[in-house]
Amino acid sequence: MSESWTLLKLLRWMTDYFSEKGIDNPRLDAELLLAYTLNLDRVGLYLNYDRPLLAVELDTIRPLVKRRAQREPLQYLLGSTEFWSLDFTVTPAVLIPRSDTEILVEEALSKAGPEGQLLDVGTGSGAIVISLASELSNWQMTGLDISTQALAVAQQNVETHQLEEQVQLLQGNLAELPLHQYDLIVSNPPYISQGEWDELMPEVRCFEPQLALLAENDGMICYQQLAAQAPSRLNPNGWLLVEIGYKQAEAVKTLFSAAGLKDVFVREDYSGHPRVVGGCLS
Ligand SMILES: C[S@@+](CC[C@H](N)C(=O)[O-])C[C@H]1O[C@@H](n2cnc3c(N)ncnc32)[C@H](O)[C@@H]1O
């Protein structure tokens, strides 16, 4: 990159380079990275296409371009992502929240009464529990995770959204849920089987925490542990709602029914894939 680069010229170069490296949305990623580095929004970029870039700006963007070309997720480079129209800090200690997980938030909202107690198992960045707390001001909520590094990120997000009074974070293993009764237990647990691991995109396989993704028993262990404990941790009419991988709907439904949960259902995401399974304690 020489010093005669204009913003548009660099944008085109980055787009071609990212495309060569197999990145899915090369132009969008180039725009977002450039906008972030120059402290502009995307409209600001379009209005400054002819602006020559300073040497210091090129020095700042160069390592970021290199990292993205090596398939590091854009969200880790930017340090944040959007979920449920809220801004979340993300670091490599947490899974990057996915828009498909908003289906779980929608289902939880549809089951929630005016007040209650909720547990989010495997809270990661806190995306689910914070989104729900932002909608359900009379609920008390707990986000549980085994990873103290993930919980530090979740704590930062709780503070950013000023939900300290409503959301408590707890370190623990989902194999032994807190001895407490909840009206809603929600979880997006690890559910990738060893066999599926090698198929993952480099962004996921090489950069997101394996602890957040990989699950024993062919991806089923967390569902088995949650189903086994749900009857003793849910209040009457309380719901267990989990995100699933697209091949897991039947197995998780069977597990929930065998655990004694009623009204077991599957909800599809907006691409038509089974995404959430839920069951109720009668
Ligand atoms: C798929 S991520 C979900 C993160 C976040 N809830 C979301 O939807 O974006 C799963 C989370 O479960 C946590 N986790 C993995 N094994 C666990 C266990 N045995 N007990 C509690 N949490 C666990 C991971 O640290 C990770 O944060």
Q: What is the pLDDT of residues 119-151, one digit of tens each?
A: 999 999 999 999 999 999 999 999 999 999 999
At residue 80, the 3 state secondary structure works out as: strand
Q: Decide if pLDDT at 67 tops 70.
A: yes
Q: What is the CATH number of the domain that holds 267?
A: 3.40.50.150
Mean pLDDT of 245-253: 97
Looking at residues 209-231, what average pLDDT do you find?
A: 98
Cβ of 244 below 6 Å from ligand 1: no
Q: How far, in Å, from the CA of 43 to the mean position of ligand 1?
A: 36
Last residue of a domain, one of 47, 70, 93: 70
CB atoms closer than 10 angstroms to residue 120:
30
Total-model pTM: 0.96
**95 CB near ligand 1 (under 6 Å):** yes
Is 1 inside a domain boundary? Answer: no
Asked if 26 and 146 sit in the same domain, the reply is no
Q: Are residues 111 and 53 in the same domain?
A: no
How many domains in the chain? 2
Helix %, strand %, coil % of the chain (to 5): 45, 20, 35
Q: What is the overall mean pLDDT for the chain?
A: 97
Domain assignment present for residue 76? The answer is no
Ligand 1 touching residue 219 (CB < 6 A): no
Q: Same domain, yes or no, for 91 and 41?
A: no
Same structural domain, 156 and 248? yes
Residue 2 has pLDDT above 70, yes or no: no
- Residue that terminates a domain, selected from 23, 42, 70: 70
Task: Indicate whether 91 and 214 sit together in one domain.
Answer: yes
**Per-residue model confidence (pLDDT) at position 4:** 86
Contacts of 56 (CB under 8 A, 6+ apart): none
One DSSP character per residue, 160-179 reads HTT-TTTEEEEE--TTS--S
> Same structural domain for residues 20 and 157?
no
pLDDT in tens, 10-50: 999 999 999 999 999 999 999 999 999 999 998 999 999 99
User: Helix, strand or coil for residue 13?
Assistant: helix
**Nearest-CA residue for atom 26 of ligand 1:** 212
Give, in order, the Cα–Cα distances in Å from 254 to each of 55, 224, 264.
60, 10, 9
Is residue 231 in a domain?
Answer: yes
User: Do the Cβ atoms of 219 and 248 come closer than 8 Å?
Assistant: yes
Tens digits of residue pLDDT in 145-179: 999 999 999 999 999 999 999 999 999 999 999 99
pLDDT at 252 over 90: yes
Residues 66 and 187 in one domain: no
Q: What percent of the chain has pLDDT over 90?
A: 98
What's the whole-number mean pLDDT along residues 243-255?
A: 97
Q: Are residues 204 and 133 in the same domain?
A: yes
**What domain range is 23 assigned to?**
7-70
Shared-domain flag, residues 201 and 172:
yes
Q: Mark whether 62 and 199 lie in a shared domain.
A: no
Instruction: Answer yes or no: is 75 within a domain.
Output: no
- Show Cβ contacts of residue 43 under 8 Å, excluding neighbours closer than 6 positions: none
**Residue 99 DSSP label:** G
Q: Based on the domain organization, do 139 and 257 belong to the same domain?
A: yes
Whether residue 58 is found in the same domain as residue 134: no
Q: Rounded to the nearest whole angstrom, what is the distance from the C-alpha of residue 226 to the centroid of ligand 1? A: 13
Burial class (CB in 10 A: 0-12, 13-18, 19+), 137: exposed
pLDDT higher than 90, residue 3: no
